[in-house]
Amino acid sequence: MSLSALKYRTPGDIAFTVGLVLTCALVLFLTLYPIYFVVIASVSDPTMVATGRVWFIPQGISWFGYEQILADERIWTGYRNTILYTVVGTAVNLLVTLPAAYALSRREFKPRRVLMFFFAFTMFFNGGLIPMYLLLRDLNLLDNWLVFILPTAVNVYNLIIARAFFENSLPEELYEAATIDGSNYFQFFLRMALPLSMAIISVIGLYYLVQHWNDFFTGLVFVRDYDKQPLQIVLRDILISNQAFSGGAGGSGGSGGGSYAQQYADQIKYGVIVVSTLPVIVLYPFLQRYFEKGVMIGSVKG
């Protein structure tokens, strides 16, 4: 810092530095304040929030929203379903993606060029919603919890990232040495490639995890049975369709806003946002470097 600061000391540079600091502060504020506000609004007195007296510090602490959420079975059913789909789904994703990525990373495997095209093509062209819907209907996957797992078993983008990693990070000599020891592809993959690739396994594992956790589309289009719906569908009902109270009371609609029930419904909404996003936000700072690594690997030519 001090060295660089010495270098930049013309009046123009000082003005630049001031502008830079202010812009960065503004960016930070605009990014983080909405999230911070949701958190403080969720524990503040709803009337205080609605009348604009809560800005930076929670006012008149109230746990009403969280009490309602704790008592709302829809949320916990949704949570349970989402955890199930996320855990099973991510496991299937990794089991399918990693071996294929490894096979496609072997340079001596000539069909890999054709296969890569076969995979990559689906990123740019697809059958669209209706054929997919009819296919899932024919396969009896509508209203079936496997619909959250199987159609998204391979994400081609993640496959490409994993392949690029295997190709660039596993030294060729290692494979040659293993071949001399009589190791075949299966053994090499399990004993050498996987243990040396924990970085990429974490990266694409996390990508898949977030994808499952945030999946709203599948539940909306392919599932009717409410007991099978994931958290995101329940969140939609509470946050957007305004069914904050499971009994159906609080939904006074947009028009009756500001009303007593509306204020309490809003507090439940703030609480629901916190409860549903908390796992991601709490884990995020620890996992961030893995996510970032994925972007880097994906952008290098594989």
Partner 1 sequence: MTVTRTGPAQEAAVAPSRGTSRPRPKGVAGLRRHVHRYWQLWVMALPAIGFVVLFAYVPMYGLQLAFREFDFTAGLTGGEWVGLKYFRQFFESPQFWTLMRNTVVISVTTLVVGFIAPIALALLVNQVIGRRRKRFLQTATYLPHFISIVVIVGMLQVFLSPSSGLITRVAEMVGVSGANFLGDTSAFVPVYVISEVWQHAGWNSIIYLAALASVDPQLYEAARIDGAGRFTIIRHIDLPALVPTMIVLFILNMGTVLSTGFEKIFLMQNPLNLGVSEVLATYVYKIGILSNQFSYGTAIGLFNTLINFTFLVITNQVAKRVSNTSLW
- Report 269-298 residues binding partner 1 (CB under 8 A): 269-270, 272-273, 276-277, 280-281, 284-285, 288, 291-292, 295-296, 298
Q: Cβ closer to partner 1: 179 or 227?
A: 179
130 is a site residue for partner 1 (CB under 8 A): yes
The residue within the footprint of partner 1, chosen from 69, 75, 104, 223 (CB under 8 A), is 104
Which residues inside 58-77 make contact with partner 1, applying CB under 8 A?
none
Contact between residue 260 and residue 50 where contact means Cβ atoms under 8 Å apart: no
* Alpha-carbon span 128 to 273, nearest angstrom: 31
- What is the rounded CA–CA span in Å between residue 6 and residue 1? 9
Residue from 18, 22, 27, 87 touching partner 1 (CB under 8 A): that is 27
Residues 244-263, mask of contacts with partner 1 (x by CB under 8 A): ----------x--xx---xx
What CA–CA distance (Å, rounded) separates 285 from 297? 20
- Among residues 58, 59, 236, 245, which is the contact residue for partner 1, using CB under 8 A? 236
Count of residues that bind partner 1 according to CB under 8 A: 112
* Among 9, 22, 23, 260, contact with partner 1 (rule: CB under 8 A): 23
Choice from 5, 18, 22, 91 touching partner 1 (CB under 8 A): 5
Half-sphere exposure (Cβ direction) of 3: Cα atoms closer than 13 Å? 0
Alpha-carbon distance of 231 to 219, in angstroms, equals 9
Binding part of the chain for partner 1, among 13-21, 58-66, 83-91, 194-202 by CB under 8 A, reads 13-21
From the number of C-beta atoms within 10 Å of its C-beta (0-12, 13-18, 19+), residue 83 rates as middle
Q: Which of 64, 94, 99, 251 binds partner 1 (CB under 8 A)?
A: 99
- Minimal distance, residue 78 CB to partner 1, in Å: 11
Among 49, 69, 170, 200, binds partner 1 (CB under 8 A): 49
What are 282's two structure tokens? 């709490």
Q: Name which position in 58, 106, 183, 199 contacts partner 1 (CB under 8 A).
A: 106
Q: How far is CA 133 from the centre of its chain?
A: 24
Residues 75, 111: Cα–Cα separation, whole Å:
48
What count of other Cβ atoms lies within 10 Å of the Cβ of residue 233? 21
HSE on the CB side for 109, CA within 13 Å? 15
118 touches partner 1 by CB under 8 A: yes
Does residue number 14 form part of the binding site for partner 1 (CB under 8 A)?
no
The alpha carbon torsion through 224, 225, 228, 233 (nearest 10 deg) reads 50
Binding residues among 147-176 for partner 1 as defined by CB under 8 A: 150-151, 153-154, 156-157, 159-160, 164, 172, 175-176
Q: Binding of partner 1 at residue 235 (CB under 8 A)?
A: yes
Alpha carbons within 13 angstroms on the beta-carbon side of residue 23 total 6
* Amino acid occupying residue 47: T
- The tokens for 157 are 């983008």
- Smaller CB distance to partner 1: residue 126 or 225? 126
